[in-house]
């Protein structure tokens, strides 16, 4: 019986190839971060573009959220139940005039809680001294004010910055209360001094805080209704302020013009001042869209910078790649290494930008005295955007590194 030797094809290999080891998470992080530690300055400059973009996005969204919260809080404190009525134009194109008894008629509307008014004193200016030319008004108007004006437009807080408001006694004498803008333009920070108006000296008895719902008062000097009559005021109000219960604001709006001027309701302009404040939110949102676009451009530039740096890194580290491949590293491990490095570089920039953006938002909130409200979507989105940009930017360099043949990589100098 003849024994046949096994063929070479059936013989087991003398030296079987080892199974490539899998990189653990710790090893992958160590290898991926090794390139960043070896070139710290380059890594910092590359991450700076991502940091600027993330900081811009987080700061814009953060400031927008803080502004919205602060403005809504302000509107809530001032109230959305304030309506104003002012004269428009008559059918002949002339300026209309509100009736003298318009305030009393508005007070009869069911649900109205308080009504007040101001009236423009014609041809009157306010100046620091009588040496200043009459034409230099500084944009300050002289208005007669009813005694309940602050109770109607002031909201829940104290509208007085210093001094007192007009009362039954001072309203008949040469006393004036300055709005916040008027006081600043005249150079007053406390009451007690005098200003010159309509050929007379009057004493400043009070200065108001800014009134967001009545910016026209901020630029005015307020005289008593009775004293203003001595300066040529005819008694016709030029703006009526009305507060009603929240539940009946719309109903009062519908009848306010007809109540103020029953004969010519089309000549009365009715508005709600709080609508102007809430309209600022829409304007800021449009402006924020532009800033977010600029932040997105910065992120794009940062991503291109990271891709460029990673390509250069692959070219500079060809021998390292060839040595690792010769020692048994697979293409997948090389690709994962450089992809991890790109994502880590982008995340470092993203975290730095996140800190800067939150810091800017916090500083803005403290400066304005508004509540700090951080948008969770901006914080999470910033980190997620940084990781995504790093992955996209590092994909091509990582694939390029993985495709390098070991012999060619080791032969390069």
Q: Which segment, 53-57, 59-63, 315-319, 348-352, is predicted with the most confidence on average?
A: 348-352
Nearest in space to 208 (alpha carbons), one of 272, 150, 276, 126: 150
**Percent above pLDDT 70 for the chain:** 79
pLDDT tens figures, 189-221: 889 899 999 889 999 999 999 888 888 999 999
Q: Mean pLDDT of all residues in the chain? A: 80
**Is the CB of residue 179 less than 8 Å from the CB of residue 218?**
yes
Query: What is the DSSP track for 64-117?
Result: HHHHHHHHHHHHHHH-S-EEEEEE-B-TTSSBP---TTHHHHHTTSTTEEEEEE
Task: Domain ranges for the chain, please list them.
Answer: 25-74+279-411, 82-272
pLDDT at 285: 59
pLDDT at 167: 93
Confidence at 15, pLDDT banded by 50, 70, 90: low
pLDDT at 49: 76
Instruction: Flag whether pLDDT at 1 surpasses 50.
Output: no
Instruction: Flag whether pLDDT at 171 surpasses 90.
Output: yes
Structure tokens at 135: 């034409």
Q: Which residues of 34-44 are buried (b: 16+ CB within 10 A; e: fewer)?
A: ebbeeeeeebe
Instruction: Flag whether pLDDT at 287 surpasses 60.
Output: no
Residue 283 CB contacts under 8 Å (≥ 6 apart), including other chains? none
| Whether the predicted model's global pTM rises above the 0.75 cut | no
Of 169-178, 257-266, 384-393, the one with minimum mean pLDDT is 384-393
Q: What's the rounded mean pLDDT across residues 330-340?
A: 80
């Amino acid at each position: 019986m003849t024994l046949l030797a096994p063929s070479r094809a059936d013989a087991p290999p003398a030296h079987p190839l080892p199974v490539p080891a899998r990189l653990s998470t710790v090893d992958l992080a160590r290898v991926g971060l090794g390139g960043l530690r070896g070139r710290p300055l380059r890594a910092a400059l590359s991450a700076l573009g991502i940091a600027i973009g993330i900081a811009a996005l987080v700061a814009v969204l953060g400031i927008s959220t803080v502004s919205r919260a602060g403005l809504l809080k302000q509107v809530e404190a001032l109230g959305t139940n304030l309506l104003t009525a002012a004269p428009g134009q008559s059918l002949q194109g002339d300026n209309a005039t509100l009736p003298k008894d318009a305030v009393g008629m508005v007070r009869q509307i069911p649900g109205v809680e308080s009504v007040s008014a101001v009236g423009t004193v014609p041809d009157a200016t306010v100046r620091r001294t009588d040496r200043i030319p009459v034409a230099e008004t500084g944009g300050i108007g002289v208005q007669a004010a009813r005694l309940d004006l602050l109770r109607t437009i002031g909201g829940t807080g104290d509208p007085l910055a210093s001094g007192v408001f007009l009362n039954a006694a001072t309203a008949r004498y040469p006393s004036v209360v300055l709005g916040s803008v008027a006081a600043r333009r005249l150079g007053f920070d406390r009451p007690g001094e005098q200003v010159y108006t309509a050929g007379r000296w009057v004493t400043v008895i009070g200065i108001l805080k800014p009134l967001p719902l009545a910016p026209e008062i901020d630029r005015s000097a307020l005289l008593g209704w009775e004293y203003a009559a001595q300066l040529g005021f005819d008694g016709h109000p030029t703006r009526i302020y009305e507060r009603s219960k929240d539940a009946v604001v719309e109903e009062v709006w519908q009848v306010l013009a007809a109540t103020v001027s029953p004969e010519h309701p089309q000549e009365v302009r009715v508005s709600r001042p709080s609508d102007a404040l809430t309209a600022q939110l829409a304007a800021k949102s449009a402006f924020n869209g532009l800033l977010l676009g600029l932040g997105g451009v910065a992120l794009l530039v940062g991503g291109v910078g990271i891709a460029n740096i990673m390509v250069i890194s692959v070219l500079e580290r060809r021998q390292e790649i060839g040595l690792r491949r010769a020692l048994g590293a697979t293409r997948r491990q090389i690709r994962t290494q450089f992809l991890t490095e790109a994502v880590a570089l982008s995340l470092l920039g993203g975290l730095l930008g996140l800190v800067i953006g939150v810091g800017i938002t916090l500083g803005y909130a403290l400066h304005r005295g508004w509540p700090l409200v951080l948008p969770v979507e901006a914080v999470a989105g910033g980190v997620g955007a940084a990781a995504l940009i790093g992955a996209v930017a590092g994909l091509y360099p990582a694939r390029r590194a993985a495709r390098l043949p070991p012999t060619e990589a080791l032969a390069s100098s």
